[in-house]
Every structure is written in structure tokens, then in C-alpha cells.
């Protein structure tokens, strides 16, 4: 495949379960499910019976966290680097 034909696959965890679009403004409900803010707000307001029964929908900001290196593997890299110095 050349560069023009390269397809990027977006993991399902980065997609809103309502719109299936990439999460732009992710919010997490108290249930632990994450949605795009605009999608969950539209969904709640579209169901008038649901929105009447909900006094408050608690959401929490969520963010994508950079994965940290596995600490147990770091000493292996140090040992490997030290062995190169001794050679």
C-alpha cells in the first residue's frame, strides 16, 4: 500500500457509542460509559420523558492518558546498555 491508500483504524474506545464518531469532547457518566458531550446531550434532550425524569446527569471529564513504560522492563534496558559499554 502506498501513502495515499493507507487507512487509519480508530479503536472503538475512542468512538462515541451513540454517534460512532471520534470523541471530541468526551464525558464519562457515573456508570463509567464515555460519550461525546454533544451526542449524549442531544440524546437526553430528544427523549422528553427521559429528560423530565432526570434532575441531574452527573458527568466527569475524561482524558486520554499517555501510556507509561512498564517499570519492570526498564532494568533490562539498563543492563543491556551497560553490557555494550563493557564490550
Nearest alpha carbon to residue 64 among 31, 25, 20: 25
State pLDDT tens for residues 7-45.
778 788 889 999 999 999 888 887 788 899 999 888 877
Domains of the chain are: 7-86 (3.30.40.10)
Q: What is the mean pLDDT of residues 48-76?
A: 54
How do residues 67-76 score in pLDDT, each as one tens digit?
455 555 555 5
Predicted pLDDT of residue 2: 59
pTM here? 0.49
Which helix (H) or strand (E) covers residue 78, if one does? Answer: helix 74-86
Burial class of residue 19 in the structure, from the number of CB atoms within 10 Å of its CB (0-12 exposed, 13-18 middle, 19+ buried):
middle
Amino acid at each position: 500500500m502506498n501513502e495515499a491508500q493507507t487507512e487509519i483504524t480508530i479503536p472503538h474506545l475512542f468512538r462515541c457509542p451513540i454517534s460512532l464518531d471520534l470523541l471530541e469532547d468526551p464525558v464519562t457518566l457515573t456508570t463509567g460509559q464515555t460519550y461525546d458531550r454533544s451526542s449524549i446531550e442531544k440524546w437526553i434532550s430528544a427523549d422528553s420523558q427521559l429528560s423530565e425524569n432526570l434532575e441531574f446527569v452527573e458527568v466527569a471529564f475524561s482524558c486520554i492518558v499517555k501510556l507509561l513504560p512498564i517499570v519492570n522492563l526498564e532494568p533490562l534496558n539498563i543492563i543491556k546498555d551497560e553490557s555494550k559499554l563493557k564490550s
